[in-house]
Amino acid sequence: MDSGIGLLPAAAAVRRLRPDADLVLSWDPDGMPWGPRTPEDITERAIAVAEAAAAHEPDVLIVACNTASVHSLPAMRARLEPRLPVIGTVPAIKPAAAGGGPVAIWATPATTGSAYQRGLIERFADGVTVTEVACPGLADAVHHADDEAIDAAIASAAARTPEDVTTLVLGCTNYELVAERIRAAVQRPGRPPLVLHGTAGAVAAQALRRIGVEPDPEATTADTTLTVLLSGREATLPDTALSYDEGRFLRAVSPVR
């Protein structure tokens, strides 16, 4: 679940690890974007989206949303666990800082500067130069596949990213859908290749570990299903999702139920 189509990278990662998994994708176009909302409002909407997915009796729920994980994970776990394990998405600050930095963290305004993100920086990036870069409008632009708005938001964030940054944390799952466009904007001439850290692969692997399932990329895909819930309503993958490689991959592997 997510506020928008930022769940596509995690869903695609699960599909690659377990091609035989049935997937339920639940997001909230009626409430987009979540970033400017209050923590209380984010939690209310996140729980509604999570419960819409839970009604389909999945084995595990991936909260493929940094903003929801920052503000709502305890409330969702209190509501759904232990009957449904809930896996949150944490900005990849720990592996990014392990490289020594300097590090920039691109995230929504709701996540940037939050006590949660600051706590991760203090815990895992002690002694590393870390710059938090708020990216207003980028998640919404990606959600709507608005190329002009995506380019403008990326250019704005890139202009506020220090030139000596060697590692960039994608602190919003939507950003992983435009990772190479971000890399191109931030990469400086004459500098070493920029290292990007997303979360989709790690979150997918953790979800499988939580339910005791081993990865099996060669598993049969026969009869697998893809259920799409838009603010609780069953639907098909919207055209905006199909603007991205991950959305096209999911549609190609499984029919939408």
Dihedrals φ, ψ of 226, to 5°?
A: -130, 110
Q: Is the pLDDT of residue 256 over 80?
A: no
pLDDT tens digits, residue range 176-207? 999 999 999 999 888 888 999 999 999 999 99
52 closest CA partner among 21, 76, 22 = 76
Give the pLDDT of residue 254. Answer: 61
Dihedrals φ, ψ of 35, to 5°?
A: -50, -45
Lowest-confidence region among 99-108, 148-157, 219-228: 219-228
Strand pairing of 233-235 and 226-230? antiparallel
pLDDT tens digits, residue range 106-145? 998 878 878 888 999 999 999 999 999 999 999 989 999 9
CA distance 169 to 95: 9
Q: Tokens 């209380």 label which residue?
A: 40
pLDDT band at 99 (very low <50, low <70, confident <90, very high): confident
Residue 135 annotated as catalytic: no
CATH top-level class of 5-89+201-253? alpha beta
Where in the sequence of the chain do the CATH 3.40.50.1860 domains occur? 5-89+201-253, 93-198
Average pLDDT rounded to a whole number, residues 13-37? 90
pLDDT tens digits, residue range 42-87? 999 999 999 999 999 999 999 999 888 888 999 999 999 999 999 9
* Average pLDDT for the chain: 92
Options 12, 73, 172, 177, the catalytic residue: 172
- Which strand ranges, in their side-by-side order, compose the sheet holding 233-235? 23-27, 226-230, 233-235
CA distance 87 to 89: 7
Options 5, 7, 65, 68, the catalytic residue: 65
Give the pLDDT of residue 215. Answer: 94
Give the pLDDT of residue 108. Answer: 87
170 closest CA partner among 125, 116, 106 = 106
**The 3-state secondary structure of the chain, one letter per residue:** CCCCHHHHHHHHHHHHHCCCCCEEEEECHHHCCCCCCCHHHHHHHHHHHHHHHHCCCCCCEECCCHHHHHHHHHHHHHHHCCCCCEECCCCCHHHHHHCCCCEEEEECCCCCCCHHHHHHHHHHCCCCCEEEEECCCHHHHHHCCCHHHHHHHHHHHHHCCCCCCCEEEECCHHHHHHHHHHHHHHCCCCCCCCEEECCHHHHHHHHHHHCCCCCCCCCCCCCCCEEEEECCEEECCCCCHHHCHHHHHHHHHCCEC
CATH top-level class of 93-198? alpha beta
pLDDT band at 31 (very low <50, low <70, confident <90, very high): confident
pLDDT band at 35 (very low <50, low <70, confident <90, very high): confident
Residue 172 annotated as catalytic: yes
Q: Is 210 exposed, middle or buried (0-12, 13-18, 19+ CB in 10 A)?
A: middle
CA distance 120 to 126: 10
> What tokens were used for 144?
């709507």
Give the pLDDT of residue 70. Answer: 83
Average pLDDT rounded to a whole number, residues 150-155? 98
Give the pLDDT of residue 255. Answer: 56
Q: Is the pLDDT of residue 257 over 80?
A: no
